[in-house]
């Protein structure tokens, strides 16, 4: 452990009983005699991490509780070994803070949360800690706009490009020559066989190939299989050329569409936004902060239909209120990860709600909701606590509502440009 007590005192005020660090809260209570303490009220998200508690008398190395057994651990009732902790004589010891191992998210009972690193050699954490809000947001935008088509092959259906594919993936798919073919005429590209004449034929054929690849366990994106179909189109407004499993769409680099709802209310000149925290059972980004309502547009569904569905299912918003949402454009981005190409476009809606409105957990995809002032939301999108694409949609909201000004934000133009990447 490279951290010293003096450093902790610099960042964390001494308190008795209740303790808090930036973005982490919890309690330390006596559960018996001196030297036996129980940490209560908190959740940790991540794998293979340790929890460090620092008291007014710095404990020796090894005073930790190792919580590596699962992806989401409830650390209530976790006992610290009494013979390895130097505690004060107070009934409520002075606790300087809780730190967790590199790149693990932690939060307590309050809506706050954050990322922390106890590895002093971690260059990523050191550089991000020294960066300001603007630099961290720009870094997020660049990460979600890292794909520009270089080195990839067009994926075509009926002579129309509908996606992109990496050369390595194209070689694998072309092994199913009845479905996919590699063509070099007019430039190399991957084509869906012309013998598949109807959307239904194409859908069945592609589904069979993807199910076979899923069984071979070579592409991580296919391990997120959902049994949910997305339409593949030239333009969003056009009829679908085929439908395919949502988890498989990144292998063919076809655009995926979704709806995000900014739920907000006004108190005088101030804006407050409703924020959701994702369920720990979600396959992607469990426990991250999210929009009041959001979701992908499934095969055969439209934008408005999806908006009403997600508002009802995720936040129990009555249709009479959800139907007052107003379209506010799109946010689009494209990035590459593990041989998969994620091209996504989110249809953005603003929903102003009354003061009396209170969202309720519906289908279990959300665990709780918070009403935050916009300044707090602004700060949070620069952390790793938010689901990344939600942070982008909220950045767009901040810009559209004048909460970020071109005269004071040095990366204003870059923010706007990177919120609307070409697909």
DSSP 250-302: HHHT--EEEEEEEEEEEETTEEEEEEEEE-TT-SSSTT-EE-SEEEE--TT--
Are 230 and 204 in contact by the 8 Å Cβ rule? The answer is no
**Cα(52)–Cα(7) distance, integer angstroms:** 14
In the prediction, which pLDDT does 191 show? Answer: 96
In the prediction, which pLDDT does 252 show? Answer: 97
Residue 33 has pLDDT above 60, yes or no: no
Q: Give the pLDDT band of residue 255 (cuts 50, 70, 90).
A: very high
Are 221 and 250 in contact by the 8 Å Cβ rule? The answer is yes
In the prediction, which pLDDT does 372 show? Answer: 96
| CATH code 3.30.750.160 region(s) in the chain | 153-252
| CATH code 3.90.79.10 region(s) in the chain | 140-146+254-418
Work out whether the CA dihedral 48, 218, 171, 226 comes out positive or negative: negative
Burial class (CB in 10 A: 0-12, 13-18, 19+), 250: buried
What Cα–Cα distance (Å) separates residue 267 from each residue in 316, 351, 372?
A: 23, 15, 12
**Cα(334)–Cα(43) distance, integer angstroms:** 32
In the prediction, which pLDDT does 54 show? Answer: 34
pTM to 2 decimals? 0.71
Weakest-pLDDT range from 8-17, 79-88, 95-104, 283-292: 8-17
Question: What's the topology of domain 153-252?
Answer: Transcription Regulator spoIIAA (3.30.750)
The CATH architecture one would assign to domain 140-146+254-418 is Alpha-Beta Complex (3.90)
In the prediction, which pLDDT does 150 show? Answer: 86
- Span 112-171, pLDDT tens digits: 333 333 344 444 444 444 469 999 999 999 999 999 888 999 999 999 999 999 999 999
Residue 87 has pLDDT above 70, yes or no: no
């Amino acid at each position: 452990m490279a951290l010293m007590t003096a450093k902790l005192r610099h960042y964390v005020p001494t308190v008795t009983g209740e303790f808090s660090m930036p973005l982490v809260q919890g309690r330390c209570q006596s559960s018996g005699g001196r030297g036996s303490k129980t940490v209560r009220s908190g959740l940790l998200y991540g794998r293979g991490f340790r929890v460090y508690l620092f008291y007014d008398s710095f404990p020796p190395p090894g005073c930790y509780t190792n919580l590596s057994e699962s992806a989401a651990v409830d650390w209530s009732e976790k006992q610290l070994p009494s013979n390895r902790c130097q505690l004060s004589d107070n009934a409520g010891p002075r606790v300087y803070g809780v730190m967790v191992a590199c790149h693990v998210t932690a939060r307590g009972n309050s809506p706050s949360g954050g990322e922390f690193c106890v590895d002093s050699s971690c260059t990523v954490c050191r550089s991000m800690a020294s960066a300001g809000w603007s630099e961290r947001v720009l870094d997020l935008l660049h990460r979600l706009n890292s794909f520009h088509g270089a080195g990839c092959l067009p994926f075509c259906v009926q002579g129309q490009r509908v996606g992109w594919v990496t050369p390595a993936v194209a070689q694998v798919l072309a092994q199913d020559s009845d479905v996919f073919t590699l063509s070099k005429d007019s430039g190399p590209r991957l084509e869906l066989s012309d013998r598949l004449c109807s959307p239904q034929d194409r859908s069945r054929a592609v589904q069979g190939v993807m199910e076979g690849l899923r069984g071979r366990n070579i592409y991580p994106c296919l391990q997120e299989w959902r049994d949910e179909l997305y339409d593949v189109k030239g333009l969003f407004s056009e009829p679908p050329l085929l439908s395919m499993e949502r988890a498989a769409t990144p292998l063919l680099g076809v655009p995926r569409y979704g709806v995000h709802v900014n739920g907000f209310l006004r108190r005088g000149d101030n804006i407050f936004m409703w924020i959701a925290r994702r369920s720990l059972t979600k396959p992607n980004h469990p426990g991250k902060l999210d929009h009041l309502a959001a979701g992908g547009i499934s095969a055969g569904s439209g934008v408005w239909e999806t908006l009403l569905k997600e508002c009802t299912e995720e936040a129990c918003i009555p249709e009479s209120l959800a139907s007052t949402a107003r379209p506010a454009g799109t946010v689009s981005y494209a990035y590459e990860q593990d041989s998969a190409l994620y091209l996504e476009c989110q249809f953005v809606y603003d929903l102003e709600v009354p003061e009396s409105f209170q969202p309720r957990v519906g289908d279990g995809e959300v665990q709780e909701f918070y009403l935050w002032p916009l300044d707090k939301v602004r700060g949070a999108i620069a952390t790793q606590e938010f689901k990344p694409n939600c942070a982008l949609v909220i950045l767009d909201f901040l810009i559209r509502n004048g909460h970020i000004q071109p005269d004071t934000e040095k990366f204003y133009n870059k923010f706007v440009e990177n919120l609307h990447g070409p697909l």
